Structure 1
């Protein structure tokens, strides 16, 4: 592993001024909140495992993490600052077969 000595920049520090949810994001949030299963989030530090099924090879694997993680936090009433480890995978699927698989476990 290589190290660079620089403080990581958060998404909140990247944008200037207020950000507003788009209609597309509000619809996505409503849909995802409605279909997420009931879960009990473990106490303590957490590990988040996500597989994103994209129909485009051009999709960036990291772009959907924060929106989805924020929805998980809202649905399951936990602070995402408790996530200390994550495994993210991108797979390519046929158009119309996109998906998100996820698991939240105690670290």
Structure 2
């Protein structure tokens, strides 16, 4: 089994990654409007943790899997009226298809880490860990 590698840094948010206000492109607005119109009603739990399982179908093998996620999740949040901070687990896989067959298949389910067979708690020990570059303690 592979071991977890710890960075010792707070995860950088998308908002912290850019300067100034981000403006949605015309393509993004069209994508969002289309999804809001065509996504079916789903019976979601009003509270609690969620798991998003998705299959992303690209026609270009050079497309980065993670690039599809943020705008897609933002659209799900808007369509289904939930805060995406409720998503505690992502299972995402990339597939290559013919041009014109690109899509995303997804499901949203309630999630419990305790019942997750894949959940591995972060190992803890009493030692203090420090970043050799900046001295940050983690």
Q: Which category describes the TM-score, using the shorter chain as reference length? A: over 0.9
| Structure 1 segments unaligned to the other structure (5+ residues) | none
Number of equivalent positions: 107
Relative to total residues, which structure has the larger helix share, 1 or 2? 1
Is contact 1:40–1:76 with CA below 8 Å preserved after alignment? no
- Asked if the contact 1:52/1:101 (under 8 Å) is kept, the reply is yes
- Unaligned 5+ segments in structure 2 are 112-138
Runs of 4+ in 1 over 3 A off after TM superposition: none
Provide the residue aligned with 1:5 in structure 2: 8
Question: How far apart are 1:48 and its partner, in Å?
Answer: 0.6
Q: CA RMSD in A?
A: 0.7
Whether the 8 Å CA contact 1:44–1:106 is kept in 2: the answer is: yes
Which is bigger in relative contact order (C-alpha 8 A, separation at least 6)? 1
Larger Rg: 2
Match of residue 73 from structure 2 = 69
